[in-house]
Amino acid sequence: MIAFLVKRLFHALLVMFVISVIAFAIQESLGDPIQQMVGQSVPESEREELRERLGLNDPFLVQYLRFAVNAAQLDFGYSYIFNQPTTEVILRHLPATLELVAASTFLIIVLSVPIGVYSAIKPRAWLSRFFMGVSIVGISIPVFLTAIVLIQLFAIGMTWAPFPADTTWGSWLNDLITTEGGMPAYGRGDPLHVFGTWYTNFASLKGLTYLVLPAISLASIMLPLFIRLIRAEMLEVLQSEYVKFARAKGIRLRRIYFLHALKNTMLPVITVGGVQIGTLVAYTILTETVFQWPGMGLMFLNAINRSDIPLIITYLMIVGLIFVITNTLVDLIYGLVNPTVKLTGNPA
């Protein structure tokens, strides 16, 4: 275990090193931060003086070595926009993103497992066909369009009257498909303070209402994928010999489905799902922009628009670290589910 964790720590350092080099290499194409920091009336001499003071005129290698030395001391520089250490800016926006990803992950797990298992157990049922059709549509729709539709339906509201309003059944159907709106769809509201820079929406019912639409929107990216993945793996497991043998022994079907078959179904799902859930952090950029959710994604987009190079580099390194941590947790969970797998790579 210790050797495994040391290996993953090395991987994390390597990933962060590569990301920092790439970010530094493309920083010139991201725009001129001086132009964003000062007004149009500032003379060129003052701009050049500020550029010299920030070290932007130094050669690439000098800039990177200076950054690497400071980063080894956990100093990733100052944000040009906020005029604060980039780590403080990241830590202030990180809780909002993590809560959004956690809520979306919860929805994905709660919905994908029963729907995927049901669709595998009864593949020819009309409800299974409905789920598969909806999952295809869900994969095809981009997240920002899903977010806009959710805002229109549940935040603004929409009146539908395709049926005759002068009949009882028509009036009932019109009321059924009409949405009143009123759901919050802008920002986090008034989250409760936990400690330090951590504010949470999980501590109150009102705070949870602000999470509903962004979480559903973000979950719509991965939910169809997980449903189809669980269904495909479950169908394969149900055709295996040990499941047929369990049926022949007279073991209850519920026990076969949810104990023997589901456990083996989840092994590849955990592997693929862990990586995919890690990518939700990257997908939050679009979701947070549409809902103006004050997380790292919205912060990163503002940093790009304002050419805040230190903040961009720190964000990319933190996201790379989150991917490494996610993959490490996936490997640990995989080892618990399947004890024959050795984390160090030695045979069991």
Provide the CATH number for the domain around residue 166. 1.10.3720.10
DSSP string, 34-65: HHHHS-TTS-HHHHHHHHHHTTTTS-HHHHHH
Closest CA to 181 of 204, 158, 163: 158
pLDDT band at 347 (very low <50, low <70, confident <90, very high): very low
- Domain assignment of residue 284, yes or no: yes
Sign of torsion over alpha carbons 72, 78, 84, 86: negative
Instruction: Judge whether 149 lies within some domain.
Output: yes
What is the count of structural domains for the chain? Answer: 1
Q: CB-side exposure of 284: number of CA atoms within 13 Å?
A: 32
What is the structure's pLDDT at 210?
93
pLDDT band at 65 (very low <50, low <70, confident <90, very high): confident
- For residue 216, pLDDT over 90 is answered with yes
Beta carbons of 30 and 339 less than 8 angstroms apart? no
Q: Is the pLDDT reported for residue 144 higher than 80?
A: yes
Is residue 51 situated within a structural domain? no
**Domain presence at residue 96:** yes
The mean pLDDT of 30-57, rounded to a whole number, is 75
pLDDT of residue 107: 93
> pLDDT higher for 167 or 226?
226
pLDDT (mean) for 165-178? 78
Could you give the C-alpha distances from 15 to 11, 19, 258, in angstroms and in order? 6, 6, 38
Nearest Cα neighbor of 136 from 160, 119, 157, 154 is 119
- Angle between helical axes of 309-337 and 262-291 (0-180°, round to 10): 160
Residue 285, phi then psi, degrees to nearest 5: -60, -50
Question: Would you give the DSSP letter of residue 191?
Answer: P
Q: Quick check: 246 pLDDT over 70?
A: yes
The answer as to whether 338 is a domain residue is: no
199-204 long-range contacts, CB within 8 A, separation 24+? 199/95, 199/96, 200/95, 200/99, 201/99, 202/99
Minimum mean pLDDT among 8-12, 144-148, 203-207, 302-306: which range? 8-12
Q: How many CA atoms lie within 13 A of 236 on its CB side?
A: 13
Q: Is the pLDDT of residue 203 over 70?
A: yes
169 or 136, which is more confident? Answer: 136
The answer to whether residue 43 is domain-embedded is no
Position 181 pLDDT exceeds 90? no
Q: Is 199 helix (H, G, I), strand (E, B) or coil?
A: strand
| In a domain? residue 180 | yes
Residue 28, in any domain of the structure: no
Residue 212 has pLDDT above 90, yes or no: yes
What pLDDT, in 10s, does the model give residues 308-345?
888 888 888 888 888 888 877 877 777 676 666 565 55
Residue-wise pLDDT for 10-21, tens only, equals: 877 888 788 878
Structural domain boundaries enclosing 290 = 92-305
Return the half-sphere exposure (C-beta side, CA atoms, 13 A cut-off) of residue 76: 24
Q: What is the pLDDT of residue 281?
A: 82
Instruction: Calculate what percentage of the chain has a pLDDT beyond 90.
Output: 21
